[in-house]
Amino acid sequence: MSEGEPTMSGVLTARTSLMACVLVQAARFTHTATKVATPRRLDRSARRHRSRIAMSGVRIQRIETEDARMAQIVIHNGICYLSGQAELGDDITEQTNNTLAECDRLLQLAGTSKENLLTCMVWLKTMDDYAAFNAAYASWIDPRSKPTRACVKSDMALPEYLVEIQFTAAMPDGTRSTSNIV
């Protein structure tokens, strides 16, 4: 072995030292990450966030609140949220048309329209009605302003309902509903 070559024990010592440094740094990072993510710290952070919201005067409009369980419309930060709507009719086409007419009424009451739709969620009692529902929906929707959409099969709140539809829409700039702000 020549004088400049490291010994096997020297290589192991260097590797061990390097590994020890890596482990110490990892432990420091883990300790810091754990310290940041503790539930107590999150609670304090959440309390501060809630306080900022309360102090900033969050404005939420709730419209058609006669039902003890919900509002039909909630408007916040320029977004209009409609509760799920279901209207009766003789078949899926009539129920879809009646439900979409009610959604139109609620959107207008909120101060927006189907041209501003962002999302649509559809619940069908049976997927056998999918094609007929789509035909009625396609004749109602503005083809230039189609929202994102999901459609699923689901049990309904009442056995007579075949479809329920829920929309989210943007509020036009500067538009305010005439309903009370809560």
d(CA 48, CA 31): 24
Q: HSE on the CB side for 99, CA within 13 Å? A: 31
**Could you report the per-residue pLDDT of 86-137, keeping only the tens digit for each?**
999 999 999 999 999 999 999 999 999 999 999 999 999 999 999 999 999 9
Mean pLDDT confidence for 22-49: 43
pLDDT band at residue 55, thresholds of 50, 70 and 90? very low
- Model pTM score: 0.66
Tokens at 176, concatenated: 């305010």
Question: Alpha helices, DSSP H only, in 72-166?
Answer: 92-110, 130-140
Assigned CATH topology for domain 60-170:
60s Ribosomal Protein L30; Chain: A; (3.30.1330)
Max Cα–Cα distance, the chain, nearest Å: 97
> Does the pLDDT value for residue 30 go beyond 80?
no
The DSSP H or E segment spanning 128 is none
What 3-state DSSP class applies to 72? coil
Query: Which positions ≥6 away from 63 have C-beta within 8 Å?
Result: 71, 72, 73, 74, 75, 106, 109, 110, 177, 179
pLDDT of residue 53: 43
pLDDT band at residue 34, thresholds of 50, 70 and 90? very low
Contact present, 133 and 139 (Cβ < 8 Å): no
Domain segments of the chain: what residues?
A: 8-55, 60-170
Phi, psi of 70 (to 5 degrees): -165, 165
- Say which range, 35-44, 129-138, 173-182, has the weakest mean pLDDT: 35-44
Separation of first and last alpha carbons in the chain = 85
Instruction: Return the number of other C-beta atoms located less than 10 Å from residue 121's C-beta.
Output: 17
Contact present, 182 and 61 (Cβ < 8 Å): yes
pLDDT of residue 173: 82
